[in-house]
Chains A and B, each alone.
Chain A
Amino acid sequence: SAVISQKPSRDICQRGTSLTIQCQVDSQVTMMFWYRQQPGQSLTLIATANQGSEATYESGFVIDKFPISRPNLTFSTLTVSNMSPEDSSIYLCSARGRMTDTQYFGPGTRLTVL
């Protein structure tokens, strides 16, 4: 299984600002994903991070609000832009390797927007 790290682990931000979350995988992976977990809720996929091209967003999520980059096979970033208190959530990165059908998750980033 892949070992996934995320930075920062938590942050408290002011409304109207932006935060970039980094996700690093210890080995080359085929697919990387970003999920959101709102307080007391389940996980919802934001987008699939594609290497070298634009991310594929799920319904209800847009690139202007959640720009994603994936410059190589082991690294991705998610930016939460123009934040409001409704963006307070845990943001999780996951990855799937070439030889598995299983997604493994990072430790998550707990974001609080005041």
Chain B
Amino acid sequence: AQTVTQSQPEMSVQEAETVTLSCTYDTSESDYYLFWYKQPPSRQMILVIRQEAYKQQNATENRFSVNFQKAAKSFSLKISDSQLGDAAMYFCAYRTSYVQGGSEKLVFGKGTKLTVNP
């Protein structure tokens, strides 16, 4: 079974600075999807960025980018020019690209709580 590990329960960053959140995963599959979701206190899960495993190029969405190291099974999230609104829980998630028995479940890490200091 796939597992996702986020080794940093909490992180903090100064406003306008850059922070990197770590995520590692374990799988025997060669094709899959990886996601970062953000959950602010409102509890709405918001997609931050996604990466297809077959793509070598790292995904980028405005101030958010990933460092995808497939061989190392690592998928870190870099937030540049941090803003107060970036404060939230960040969850890394894995999804198989192979639909098995109708399940496309997302496997989540335990999350990293990001605090942004003014």
B102–A48 contact, CB under 8 A? yes
Q: Knowing A105-B45, A107-B43 touch, does A56 contact B101 (C-beta < 8 A)?
A: yes
Report the minimal beta-carbon distance from B21 to chain A, rounded to whole angstroms.
14
Chain A residues with CB under 8 A of B44: 105-108
* B30 interface residue per 8 A CB criterion: no
The total of interchain contacts (Cβ-Cβ below 8 angstroms) comes to 60
Chain A residues with CB under 8 A of B42: 107
A102–B35 contact, CB under 8 A? yes
Interface residues as binary, B40-84 with A (CB distance below 8 Å gives 1, 0 otherwise): 001111110010100000000000000000000000000000000
A58 contact from B45, B103, B110, Cβ within 8 A: B103
A43–B102 contact, CB under 8 A? no
Q: Knowing A50-B102, A58-B103 touch, does A43 contact B91 (C-beta < 8 A)?
A: yes
B105 contact from A1, A58, A110, Cβ within 8 A: A58
Chain A residues with CB under 8 A of B106: 35, 43, 45, 94, 103
Chain B residues with CB under 8 A of A1: 47
B104 contact from A96, A104, A108, Cβ within 8 A: A96
A56–B35 contact, CB under 8 A? no
* A64 interface residue per 8 A CB criterion: no
A48–B50 contact, CB under 8 A? no
Residues of B participating in the A interface, judged by any CB pair closer than 8 Å: 33, 35, 37, 42-47, 50, 52, 91, 95, 97, 101-106, 108-111
